[in-house]
Amino acid sequence: MPIDATKSYDDSNIFARILRGEIPSKTVYEDEHALAFHDINPQAPIHVLVIPKGAYVSWDDFSERASAEEIAGFVRAVGKVAREAGLVEPGYRLLANTGRNSGQEVPHLHVHIFGGRPLGPMLA
């Protein structure tokens, strides 16, 4: 069921639980602002999720409420994860689903990083 991105943050969501260490994830990177881990159901040979440490429902919520420091830290983390995975030369795709029409399932902002093969058309 896609989430309603206009709702307030619910800290029982699965990524909040990963951030609190209540459930495991396959971490690939962590710093003050961001955590990156492998998607549990990968859609490409490399499929990593990057989430901010702050409590933000979606890209909309984050871009409106996060501090300049949080935004810079998160954006740099996404770039660093892709770079360290060796994805710059072959290329990669970023995706941040937001709300109902996008199919966003988890109500904590996450950027998908896809790579490892030609990714085909932008939308299926």
- Cβ nearer to ligand AMP, comparing 89 with 120: 120
Judged by CB under 6 A, which stretch of 38-46, 58-66, 73-81, 82-90 contacts ligand AMP? 38-46
The answer to whether the beta carbons of residues 53 and 32 sit under 8 Å apart is yes
Task: Verify binding: residue 105, ligand AMP, rule CB under 6 A.
Answer: yes
Residues involved in catalysis:
110
Judged by CB under 6 A, which stretch of 27-35, 52-60, 71-79, 103-111 contacts ligand AMP? 103-111
**Considering only residues 25, 33, 82, 111, which one is a binding residue for ligand AMP as defined by CB under 6 A?**
25
Task: Verify binding: residue 40, ligand AMP, rule CB under 6 A.
Answer: yes
Burial class (CB in 10 A: 0-12, 13-18, 19+), 6: exposed
